[in-house]
Amino acid sequence: MPEIQDISARRASLSAEQRARLKERLRGANVAGTRETESAIPPRPQKDRAPLSFAQRRQWFLWKLDPARTAYHLSGGLVLSGHLDVEALRASVQALVDRHESLRTVFREEGDGEVEQVILETLPVALPCIDLSTLEAGAREAAIEHEVRGIRTEPFDLTRGPLMRTVLLKTDAQAHRLLVVMHHIVSDGWSVQLTLDELAAQYAARVQGRSMAQPALPVQYADYAVWQNRWLEGGEGERQLAWWRDHLGTEQPVISLHTDRPRNADGRYGSARVTVALPADTVARLRQRAQGQGATLFMALLAGFNALLFRHTGQADARVGVPIANRNRAETAGVVGFFVNTQVLRARIDARMTLEELFVQTRDTAIGAQTHQDLPFEQLVGALRPERSLSANPLFQVMFNHVRRDHRSLAEWPGVSVQRLDFEEEDAQFELTLQTLELEDGSVEATLLYASELFDRETVERMAGHYLSVLRALVEQPQQAVGDVVLVGEAERAQLAAWSENARCHEGEQPVHRQIESHARLKPSAPALVFGDEALSYGELNARANRLAHRLIASGVGPDVLVGICVERSVEMMVGILAVLKAGGAYVPLDPEYPADRLSYMVQDSGIALLL
């Protein structure tokens, strides 16, 4: 299950001096707005129903659009070894559902199209126990995989519930697997950790015969939803929106990563992942550099990701989605619900900017976003109105998520050894997500989640290597320009050298345009080029290329003159290439699918004299 670490928690890890410097940067915030933001969330007047939060409205829309999609299923579980008290476990899960209204919530659409969340007074928990322990090893593993896939991929009905499913698999006499799946509309990463902690405490109390006295929750998620809707009607929502408008500007570019295969029109892809461990020395030096700059490890890792995106796209304006826990009010800390918000952090990069400059810019952007974190992402999308498309997420298309994993509650299960059970996502929410996982021992893993229909695994593995190269450069050569960082490793350099060296020698061979001229003289009617329904003979191809070549020569094209060719794959593209060669120049291919700012950079950097 994904976990989301709040920026405020990262801020808590700073030294006293760094927190003082951070406080100084935050003094520009509106005082009246701060008082409004920090006001307590009151209990809602109507206990059995409430409006949807803005995040829930988006989830409802996505579910209505495609009820079978699993991209927003939060799934995971526990591997339990030892004597398990199944009835105590079932009672503990029931206690979770009784305590947290979100786990008893369903959604109803009224006749006017308005949707509200309905909180059921009671919801009995079903914890079926499936005994697979008598099967042979091979059959047992196949059965486990079948059951896991079934519970994870079964669609949720948001109108009927329940929106949390649990299954217990008995895999041996002293071994079980607890599988849990929740819909994102009632939960988030913080909630996942919360349920694990409470489940361990509930189970321990029951097994040990203790009473589990928990203080009543000060608020429930539905209280927050009511408060959020009212809060946005006040001046603080407008103040925060003004900051985000200024931060993101009026243009909302779509990031265009180079893919191995064309994009789907509906934007739906399966998910795959590549994980690498960050070198311990690099992580230690990143932490040291971050502390020296009044920043956090999260900010350093994000700065590296921004540099990676620039090097892979050439786009000077990078937008990255960053999830935050959005629990900056004390009363929400212990509540299960969909609090998580997504911020869009913008980086403006050019090839000559130093890594240090990019790091400082990333730090300041993250701090500014932290002081304006309450504005729902959905509200921001509605206000900025970016061009909408099924094939691209609005405002950002790549995500960065920094996670801290806390396994301490796994040791609190009496008589049972417990391990976390994580599953790979079935569907990709975005074309590319970088998730960095900070473990208890301080080590960090980086996982690139990617759309498997778009990228080959080898492509993403190279990208992961490039990310490590950027991070090393950030700590070893912070004054190095972003465009000068050497990304390729030894294996890639060897491959490039192999591709570049041709030991074969063809004496007397002519350039390709001369060979085509020879074929045109010998076999002018022979087919030379076919594209779709259009075909040219050697004679026709040579004649068209000659006409354009004379035009280019008259325009000054000759040896050492570069001519840009920006045209889709077509007959005209081949005529243009041959014409440039015939004129004695060299051509610079420009893919019209590239973003405009990247094409502009390529035109300026190459120094072309003409453009076809």
Predicted local distance difference test score (pLDDT) of residue 267: 83
Name the CA dihedral angle for 355, 358, 360, 365, rounded to a multiple of 10 degrees.
-160
- Tell me 354's DSSP state: B
- The answer for residues whose C-beta is within 8 angstroms of residue 208's C-beta and 6 or more apart is 414
User: Residue 325's Cα: distance from chain center in Å?
Assistant: 15
CATH of the domain at 289: 3.30.559.30
CATH value at residue 601? 3.40.50.980
Question: 385 and 526: one domain?
Answer: no
Task: Give residue 596's pLDDT.
Answer: 82
Domain ranges, residue 538: 512-611
Is 459 in the same domain as 358? yes
Q: What is the token pair recorded at 224?
A: 């927050």
Please report whether residue 476 resides in a domain.
yes
Q: Do residues 202 and 92 lie in contact, with contact meaning Cβ atoms separated by under 8 Å?
A: yes
Other CB atoms within 10 A of residue 562 CB = 15
Look at residue 323 and give its three-state secondary structure.
strand
Rounded-to-integer distance, Cα 467 and Cα 278, Å? 10
H/E element, 171: strand 164-172
Q: At residue 414, what are phi and psi to the nearest 5 degrees?
A: -70, 130
Instruction: With respect to residue 281, please indicate whether it lies within any of the assigned structural domains.
Output: yes
Rounded to whole angstroms, the Cα distance separating 351 from 362 reads 16
Last residue of some domain: 495, 525, 557?
495
- Domain end position, chosen among 436, 469, 495: 495
- Same structural domain for residues 285 and 400? yes
- Asked if 358 and 405 sit in the same domain, the reply is yes
Same domain, residue pair 433 and 575: no
Same structural domain, 360 and 449: yes
Does residue 214 form part of some domain? no
552 plus 476 within the same structural domain: no
Q: What is the mean pLDDT of each run of 10 residues along the chain (612 residues)?
A: 44 51 45 49 91 94 91 92 96 96 96 91 94 95 95 95 96 96 94 92 94 89 93 82 94 90 87 96 96 95 98 94 91 95 96 97 95 90 83 89 85 92 83 93 95 95 96 97 92 82 73 88 91 90 93 92 91 92 93 84 89 91
**Residue 426 maps to a domain:** yes
The answer on 452 and 323 residing in a single domain is: yes
Q: Are residues 547 and 441 in the same domain?
A: no
- The secondary structure of residue 26, as a DSSP letter, is H
Q: Judge if 387 and 443 occupy the same domain.
A: yes
Q: Does residue 504 lie within any of the structural domains?
A: no
Predicted local distance difference test score (pLDDT) of residue 213: 79
Residues 383 and 442 in one domain: yes
Cβ neighbours, 10 Å, residue 520: 21
Q: How many domains does the chain have?
A: 2
Helix axes 512-522, 538-554, angle to 10 degrees: 130
What letters, b where the CB count within 10 A reaches 16 and e where it falls short, cover 5-43? bbbeebbeebeeebeeebeeeeeebeeebeebbeeebee
- Which pair of tokens denotes residue 207? 């097994």
Same domain flag for 490 and 520: no
Q: How far apart are CA 600 and CA 347, in angstroms?
A: 18
At 34 the pLDDT is: 44
Comparing CA positions, the residue from 538, 499, 509 lying closest to residue 521 is: 538
Residue 341 lies in a domain: yes
